[in-house]
Structure 1
Amino acid sequence: MTGALEAVRARRSWSKVTDAAPTHAELLRLVSAAGRVADHSSLRPWRLIELRGSDREVLGRAIHKADGEKGHSTKPLRAPLLIAVVASYRKSGKVPRWEQEAVASGVAHMLSLLLDEAGWGVIWRTGHYTRSKAVAKAHGLGKDEELLGWLYVGGKPERSGGGRRKALDARPLLSRMPA
C-alpha cells in the first residue's frame, strides 16, 4: 500500500501559507476526485464556494457583523484562497441529515488531502460565525444549507524544524464488538 496511505500519513495543517494558490481549473480537477466519497443515494448534499481577492474582505465584514463589530476581520486574509464547505441538505426518506453532513465533511477532508498532496498548504478553519446569519447571507446560503467552515489554501512556506506529525497509536481507538 502506497500513494493514499503515504499522502494521509504526510498530511498536516498549515496555519501559515504563501500568496500562491491553485487555479480554478486545478480546483475543478481536485473537486471532481474529492466528490467520489461515499454518498448514500448519490444525493451530493454539498457544495463549495471559492473565495479569492475581495471576496475575503466581504467575508471579513460579515464575520465582524456577526460579532457585533464594525469594519472587517482580517482572518479571511490569512490565505489567498478560501473554499467554503457547505452542507446542502436534500429531502430523503433514506438518508438522514447527519449522514448528509458527514458526506459534505468527507468531501472537504478528501479535498484537503488532495490539495496537500498536490503541494498546497491547507487548514480547515471553523468558528461560531459559521452559523451566523450575516456569514450565511454573504455566502448566499439557502434555507436548507449550513456552512461547515473554510479550507484556507495557499503555498507551503519554507519550514524550519518541525516535520511530520507524531504518529497515532490506534490501539486504544480500535476495539472489537463486546461479547
Structure 2
Amino acid sequence: MSALDAVRARQSWSRVTDDAPSHDELLTLVAAAGRVADHSSLRPWRLIELRGADRETLGAAIAKAEGDKSPSSKPLRAPLLIAVVASYRKSSKVPRWEQEAVASGVAHMLSLLLDEAGWGVLWRTGHYTRSKAVAKAHGIGKNEELLGWLYVGGKPADKKPGRRKPVDPRTFVTRMPSAKKAKKAETT
C-alpha cells in the first residue's frame, strides 16, 4: 500500500476490540513516526503508554478534574492509550507553537502507521487534558502539555469505521496574492 493509499484509507475507530499492538510493535511504529519534520531536531515530544490499570488511574484523574465521584470509564474504551505530550525545549530558533506542531505531527503520523498496520485508532482530547489531576497522573513536567490520547485496539469485524466527507482541495488551496492585490488589501 502506498502512503497515499494509507492516508486515504485512514478512519477514526470509536469502538475497538481488546486486541492491541505489543510494546515492541509500538516501538517500531514510534521510531518511524519520530521521523516527522522537526526544525533543529529538538524532538519536543514524548509518548506515555497506558495499559491495564494505568487506564483506571487515568479514569480516576479525569473524575477528579471533572468533580465526579465515580472514575471515568472513557479510558477503558480501548486496551491501549498513548498519551501525546508536547515537551517544549529552549530554543531561540524554534517557537513553542512549532514544537507543539511537531508533537502533533508525531501523533498523527503514529495514528496513520497504526491504522495501516491494522489497528483501530481514535485521537481523543478534552478540556481535562490541561487539568492538574490529569497532568499529575501522567507525570507531566513544567515545560510540557498533554495534547490528548490515541485510543488503540483491534478493528471490530462487525463495525465499519466512521465516515468523513471528502475534501474538495480547491476550497483549501489558493495562490499567493499578487503584489497589487496584497497592497490593496493592506489599505482596506
TM over 0.5: yes
Residue identity over aligned pairs, in percent, reads 80
TM-superposed deviation, 1:29 = 0.2
Residue 29 of structure 2 corresponds to which residue in structure 1? 30
TM-superposed deviation, 1:159 = 3.6
The SS at the match of 1:103 is: helix
Residue 68 of structure 1 corresponds to which residue in structure 2? 67
Q: Calculate the TM-score normalised by the size of structure 1.
A: 0.96
The SS at the match of 2:69 is: coil
Residue 128 of structure 1 corresponds to which residue in structure 2? 127
Q: Give the letter for the 1:176 counterpart.
A: R
TM-superposed deviation, 1:160 = 5.1
Is 1:77 the equivalent of 2:76? yes
Q: Show structure 1 runs of 5+ residues with no match.
A: none
Number of aligned residue pairs: give it: 178
8 Å CA contact retained: 2:81, 2:151:
yes
Q: Show structure 2 runs of 5+ residues with no match.
A: 179-188
Larger Rg: 2
Q: What do the CA deviations read for 1:58-86 (whole angstroms, capped 9, x no partner)?
A: 00000000011122000000000000000
8 Å CA contact retained: 1:48, 1:86:
yes
**Structure 2 CA distance for aligned equivalents of residues 66 and 163 of structure 1:** 29
Q: Calculate the TM-score normalised by the size of structure 2.
A: 0.92
TM-superposed deviation, 1:117 = 0.1
The SS at the match of 2:167 is: coil
Change (3 A) 1:60 1:161: closer
More helix, by proportion: 2
**Structure 2 CA distance for aligned equivalents of residues 142 and 74 of structure 1:** 25
Residue 156 of structure 1 corresponds to which residue in structure 2? 155
TM-superposed deviation, 1:165 = 3.9
8 Å CA contact retained: 1:10, 1:164:
no
RMSD over aligned Cα, in angstroms?
1.3
Change (3 A) 1:122 1:133: same
